[in-house]
């Protein structure tokens, strides 16, 4: 049951967690991503190790590369990337993109 202030899908593993006071666009994007995850679950990021999407600094790039390839085939990639851009996610793989790629996308978007 959703109550005022709750974010739909907040209890779904692999969904982003935002507080209601955060940017409205990010909250909307998180709700959309949560709905997509509920529809298509489980998706790769929900069943593979977190370290694939949030690699340790200086670690092997193989898990990160595997995560990016899995994202390419994921049905929620667009919603995931939309959330990451709206919420200014600065770490991890989101929507098949690295933090550096998302920074470039933000700079290229008016």
69 is in an annotated binding site: no
Residue 9's nearest CA partner among 43, 28, 37, 40 is 37
The torsion angles phi and psi of 97, rounded to 5 degrees, stand at -120, 150
28 is in an annotated binding site: no
74 is in an annotated binding site: yes
Please give the average per-residue pLDDT across 59-72, as a whole number: 92
Instruction: Please give the pLDDT value at position 23.
Output: 75
Residues 71-94 pLDDT 10s: 999 999 999 999 999 999 999 999
SS3 category, 55: coil
Residue 36's nearest CA partner among 3, 82, 4 is 82
Domain ranges of the chain: 24-108
Structure tokens at 86: 């709206």
Q: Give this prediction's pTM.
A: 0.77
Query: Measured between alpha carbons, how far is 63 from 86 in angstroms, rounded to an integer?
Result: 25
């Amino acid at each position: 049951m959703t109550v005022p202030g709750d974010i739909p899908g907040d209890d779904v593993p692999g969904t982003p967690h935002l507080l209601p006071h955060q940017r409205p666009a990010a909250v909307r994007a998180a709700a959309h991503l949560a709905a997509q995850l509920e529809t298509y679950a489980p998706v790769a990021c929900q069943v593979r190790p977190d370290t694939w999407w949030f690699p340790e600094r200086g670690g092997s790039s193989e898990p990160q590369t595997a995560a990016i390839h899995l994202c390419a085939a994921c049905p929620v990639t667009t919603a995931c990337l939309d959330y990451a851009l709206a919420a200014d996610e600065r770490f991890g793989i989101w929507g098949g993109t690295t933090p550096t790629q998302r920074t470039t996308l933000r700079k290229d978007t008016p």
